[in-house]
Chain A
Amino acid sequence: MSVTNMAKEASLTARLPRRLIIATLSLLLVSAAFSAEAQSPRYRAPRTSDGKPDLNGIWQAVNTANWDLQAHPARLSAVVALGAAFSIPPGLGVVEGGDIPYQLEALKQKEENQAHWMERDPEIKCYMPGIPRATYMPYPFQIVQSPNQVVMAYEYASASRIIYMNSAEKSPADAWMGWSIGRWEGDTLVVDVTSFNAETWFDRAGNFHSDALHVVERYTRVADDVLQYEATIEDPKVFTRSWKISMPLYRRLEKNAQLLEFKCVELVEELIYGSLRKGRSN
Chain B
Amino acid sequence: MKKRLIPVIAALSLMASQGPALAHHAFSSEFDANAPVHLTGKVSKVAWVNPHAWIYVDVKTADGSMTTWAIEGGTPNNLFRHGINKDSLQVGTDIVVEGYQAKDKSNRANGRDLTLPSGQKLFMGSSGTGAPYDTKTNPAQ
Taking Cβ atoms with an 8 Å cutoff, the residues of A that contact B are 170-175, 195, 197
Chain B's closest residue to A172 (CB) is: B85
Contact flags (1/0) for B26-59 with A, using CB distance below 8 Å? 0000000000000000000010100000000000
What CA separation (Å) do A174 and B76 show in the bound complex?
Answer: 10
18 of the cross-chain contacts (CB-CB < 8 Å) are A170-B87, A171-B86, A172-B76, A172-B80, A172-B85, A172-B86, A172-B87, A173-B46, A173-B48, A173-B76, A173-B80, A173-B85, A173-B86, A174-B48, A174-B86, A175-B48, A195-B86, A197-B48
| B86: A residues at CB distance < 8 A | 171-174, 195
Q: How far is the CB of A125 from chain B (nearest CB, A)?
A: 13
Interface residues on B, range: under 10
Shortest Cβ distance from A281 into chain B, in angstroms? 25
Summarize A's interface: helix, strand, loop or mixed. Answer: loop
Nearest Cβ in chain B — how far from A148, in angstroms? 20
Main secondary structure of the interface of B (DSSP, over half): loop
Nearest to B53 among chain A residues (CB) is: A173
Closest 8 CB pairs of A and B: A172-B85, A173-B48, A172-B80, A173-B86, A173-B76, A173-B85, A174-B86, A172-B86
* Most chain A CB atoms below 10 A, which of B76, B85, B86: B86
Which of chain B's residues have a CB closer than 8 A to the CB of A170? 87
- Which residues on A sit within 8 Å (CB–CB) of B85? 172-173
* C-alpha gap A172/B48 in the complex (Å): 10
A29→B85 CA distance, assembly (Å): 57
Give A171 to B80 CA distance when docked, in angstroms.
Answer: 10
Q: What B residues does A172 contact at CB under 8 A?
A: 76, 80, 85-87
Complex-state Cα separation, A197 to B49, whole angstroms: 11
Please give the distance in Å from A145's CB to the nearest CB on chain B.
25
- Roughly how many angstroms separate A170 CA and B85 CA in the complex, as a whole number? 10
Shortest CB–CB separation between residue B50 and chain A, in angstroms? 11
Looking at B48, B76, B80, the one whose CB has the most chain A CB atoms below 10 A away is B48
B 61-87 binary contact with A (CB < 8 Å = 1; else 0): 000000000000000100010000111
State the Cβ distance, B79 to closest chain A Cβ, in Å.
8
**Cβ-closest chain A residue relative to B89:** A173
Q: Which residues of A contact B80 (CB under 8 A)?
A: 172-173
For A171, the chain B residues whose CB sits under 8 A away are 86
Q: How far is the CA of A250 from the CA of B46 in the complex (A)?
A: 39
A sample of 12 more A-B contacts (CB under 8 A), given A173-B80, A197-B48, is A171-B86, A172-B76, A172-B85, A172-B86, A172-B87, A173-B46, A173-B48, A173-B76, A173-B85, A173-B86, A175-B48, A195-B86
A171 to B76, CA, bound (A): 12
